[in-house]
Every structure is written in C-alpha cells, then in structure tokens.
Amino acid sequence: MIGADAVVSALKKIGATHVFGIVSIHNMPIFDAITRDGTIQIIDCRHEMGATHAADGYARATGKTGIAIASTGPGTTNTVTGLYEAQYASSPVLLITGQAETGFYGKAQGYVHEAEEQLPMLRTVTRRAESVRIASRIEDTILEVANDVSSGRPSSGAVEIPIDLQYAEVSESGQGFNPVNPEMTGDLDRAVALITGSRKRIIIAGGGVTYGGASDALTRLAEKLQAPVFMTPNGRGAITEDHSLAIGNLYQSRKLHADMMDADLTIAIGTRFQVGVGGSGAALKPPGKLLHIDIDASIVDRVHKSDASLIGAAAEILPAIDAAMNPQPCSPEFVEKIQTSNRELRQKLRKRLGTDYEGILDAIRELAPRDTLIVRDTTVPAYNFVNQLLPIYAPRTFIGPNSAAIGPGLPLAVGAAAGTGKKTVVVHGDGGFMFHATELATAAQYQLPMVICVFNDGGYGVLRGLQSQQFEGRYSDTDLGVVDFAGLAESMGVTGVAVETLTEFKAAFGSAMDRAGPTLLNIDMRKLIPMQGSILPAQ
C-alpha cells in the first residue's frame, strides 16, 4: 500500500462515489490508485475551477462530501473560486492536491509547479487546510479535515500531499469518518413560550433545513402551527412549494414584507440572514420577536438581534420543539392575508414576464418531473422567474451560486447530475456560460442527463440592467456578441438545438427531457417577447 492508496482508503470511508478533477504529474498516483480500486468514478473535468464547482454541486445534491482533485501550483490556484463558493454556500467540499517533493518544498529553487505559499492561499477560502509531511499521516489528515468541514455548519477544506509521499509505502489507518453536530443548547422553554404566546407567526427556512435533513420536521411543525413558510434560496424545497403554507423565496419582497409586519413572531431556521446587494437583507427586519435556530452559534445575532435562540441541528431541534408544546394555530385571518398577498405578488411578477417567458416557466415545470434538479446561474432568467416563480418540490433539488458568482451553473450541474443520476435542468445566461463552456465536453463524455438552457442575449444582461439604472443609460463592456451555442454543443458531442419561439422551446425541452444524454438549448432572447420592468429580485 502506497500513499496514493491511503488517499483512496480515506475517500471510501468518506463515502465518495465520484471525484472531480484533472490528472497531472503531481497527482497521477492518486488517479491511478482510484482506477485500480474501481469503486469510485472519476469525472474528468476540463478546468480545475469547474471540477471544484462540480464537487460542490455533487455535495449539495447528494448530501455527501464533495471531492475535487487538482495538481499543485497552477492547478490549485484554479480551484480557489470553487472553494470560495462552497465556503460561502456552507457546502462540504474537500480539495486534495499535490505538492512539490518534500526535498524541494520550501526552497524556492524553481521546482515545476512550485507553490511555496499554496497552503496559506488555501486557508483564505477554506475552514481548514493542511499539508502532509509524513506519508503515514496521509489518510488520517484527509479524514481529520473531512470530519472538520462536514461537521456543524459545513464548509470547504483542502489537503496537499507532496508527490514523493504519494509513492511512499504506508499502512492503512484505523481512523474513521465521523462528522458530528453540536448538541442542542439554548433555552427550549423560552423558545416554546415565544411560540405558544404568539398567534401571528411566520417561519423562514434556510439551507440548514434542506441540507440538514429537516424538511419533514419543518413541514410537521408548520402544519401544527399553521404558520406561513418563507424560504431562502438555499432553503427552497424545505417544504414542498405546492403546500398551502409555502410562500417561497419572497421574504425580501418589500410589498410582502410590509403585509407581514403585524406578525408577532418570526421563527428563523438555518439561515444567516444573508444581507445581499447593498445590505437589503439587513434593512428588512424580521417582524415581531425573533426565535433564531441555527447549527452555528456565531450566526445568531450577527444581522438581527434575537429574543431567543437554539443552537444545534434543525433535524434535532424541530422535533424537540414539536414534542414540547401544544400551541394555538396561527390566526386564520393573518395567514389568509399573507397567502393573498403572495398570490397577488406572483400574478404581478408573472405578468411582468410577458407571454413567452411565462410560457417557458410553465413548460419547464410541466415537463420536468417533481424530483428534477434545477440548477441556475446568476442570470436574467434566474432573477426574473427561476429564483422565485418556478416551483420547487423537494430539498436538494434547487442549486445555484450563493455568492452571486457568474458562471458556476454548468459545472455545479455536472456534479449534481453525476452524483444523483437524476435529470438536471440548467438555466444559464450566455455571459456566464462562457466561463465554463468547455464542461460541455465533460457532460458528453459521461452522457450526463442534463438539459442546458442557455438564454442568449449577447452579453451580461444583469449588468446591463444595473448600468441602465446607475449610469444615465450608458452601457460599457457588457456586449459579448452572439455565439451559436447549439453549434458549439454539437462540436463537443452534445445535442444542440436553436430555439427562437415559445413553441420551439416547448418541443425542444420535451425532447431533451426524453433524451438520455445531455442537450443544450440555445434560446435567442432577441426573438422572444421581452420581459418588462426590473431584472432585480421582487420589490
């Protein structure tokens, strides 16, 4: 057994079914060991940033720790954005990378791919990054970092392994993979008293519910309280969005927020109240008293002062609350007011789309089964209808860049589709798509079940909208030219279809859903009836 085999032993204990990366002279032993073992599938991505985003998408869709493998130096610098996004999104992603031979490490003698400051760089975008200096520590180090980043509120991590240690003889470690959550702390009686003493309650469900396996517990609690449930982007699917109590991702709508201001209690679960652009999230104060439930104690009171808090996993805390109380249901008049406001706002937002985009929205939901994964990039269609109007029915089926980065959509979807084998619909803009367009070749190589919808307006549509509002109508550097993405897809072995009308979209999307492998729809936004009004989130 050599050091590379120790890596495989650790990955098997972690439960990895797939790894994402690019082979290089400083990680070849690891790739060879994975191939010899034969129990983990390697997904050969086309860029290390794409591989790290793919590991992130795999983690969010499957609930497992995502594994990316890169080479030292230039390979590892390429992973930084993916690690940053995973850290931002509280997603457990572990990077395993090579490093120069131990005899040359730290001597700055120009060893190939030398990266003397790689470890401190990685520590800026991870919870924990370690360098292995003794071959016998390879497996233990990987498991220690994996346990750390997969415990509590998840994050990203990294381990670098010098190339000579990957070839060194080692013995198998006895350490295991046992991530732990903190035990519940806080005043449960105080929390129950706040709930039972209120009659106008709202619930805000975040990623701590969906990714923490607490969706069923949340649904039971919401039904017991008869409380409307708002969801953050990471929390979408925490309660199925065709449930009568589901309001969806509309908490930051000023109109809806104004209509809920007479609530006497907000129950926030697994959300850090991400403040968003310009601090808008901080400005929207939760109505009434605030009960904040989160696995990370440092989150509580950071944005909004709580009246009570419980620290721990939502899957443990919500049943404890449920068992400890027999509350009066919410005021029916209050609930009806929120539901009516929700319906009116959605009708307004749908009308703003125009008939073509409204038809596209409905076609996606009609033709995609309930468990279809929906992956969106930071793009005009996402802001206008995917983020808020496209119903999501289950946890871990809605994924996107939490950091509002442009471009991660396609590789996130690669990881999600590979890890689950489920049909995965990607909603992309042309500007962001060009960041990782080469991952089309990855989708083709593994015949991933993806439907890639590229809404093509020849530029950065979101930024154009912002420029029109801020610079007296002047645009600069947001026009990119119109690319034939259907032709590009075909050149890489992906079925490509040009779409110019709503009728063509329905036909092409239906065929793509029936096709086993990947399909790209190049949707010419210039030919569709344009959307009206702001491209920013609902106001």
Tell which of 274, 305, 330 closes a domain. Answer: 330
Q: Which domain holds residue 139?
A: 3-167
Q: How confident is the model at residue 384 (pLDDT cuts 50, 70, 90)?
A: confident
Residue with more model confidence, 454 or 282: 454
Residue 537 placed within a domain: no
CATH number at residue 228: 3.40.50.1220
**pLDDT at residue 248 is higher than 50:** yes
Residue with more model confidence, 101 or 6: 6
Residues 501 and 366 in one domain: yes
Residues 437 and 293 in one domain: no
pLDDT on residue 2: 97
Q: How confident is the model at residue 386 (pLDDT cuts 50, 70, 90)?
A: very high
CB 329 within 8 A of CB 237: no
Residue 173 placed within a domain: no
Q: Which of 250-254, 259-263, 357-361 has the highest mean pLDDT?
A: 357-361
Instruction: Write the pLDDT tens digit of every residue in 253-274.
Output: 878 888 889 999 999 999 999 8
Q: How confident is the model at residue 69 (pLDDT cuts 50, 70, 90)?
A: very high
Give exposure, 310-325, as e/b (b: 16+ Cβ within 10 Å). bbbbbbbbbebbbeeb
Residues 403 and 521 in one domain: yes
Residues 271 and 293 in one domain: yes
Residues 374 and 515 in one domain: yes
Residues 258 and 346 in one domain: no
Residues 73 and 189 in one domain: no
Put the strands of the sheet holding 18-21 in their side by side order.
41-44, 18-21, 66-70, 93-99, 156-162, 128-131
Residues 452 and 367 in one domain: yes
Instruction: Write the pLDDT tens digit of every residue in 164-216.
Output: 999 999 998 889 999 999 999 999 999 999 999 999 999 999 999 999 999 99
Residues 103 and 232 in one domain: no
Beta strands in 181-329 (DSSP E): 185-186, 201-205, 229-231, 246-248, 265-269, 289-294, 308-311
Residue 177 placed within a domain: no
Residue range 11-35: mean pLDDT, rounded: 97
Residues 477 and 349 in one domain: yes
Nearest to 274 by CA among 238, 241, 240, 231: 231
DSSP 2: B
Report the alpha-carbon angle 333-282-344, nearest 5.
35
Using CA atoms, how far apart are residues 209 and 237, in angstroms rounded to an integer? Answer: 9
Q: How confident is the model at residue 467 (pLDDT cuts 50, 70, 90)?
A: confident
**pLDDT at residue 278 is higher than 70:** no
Residues 346 and 323 in one domain: no
Q: Is the pTM of this model over 0.85?
A: yes
Q: How confident is the model at residue 281 (pLDDT cuts 50, 70, 90)?
A: low
Number of domains in the chain: 3
Nearest to 259 by CA among 347, 336, 351, 199: 336
One-letter identity of residue 383: Y
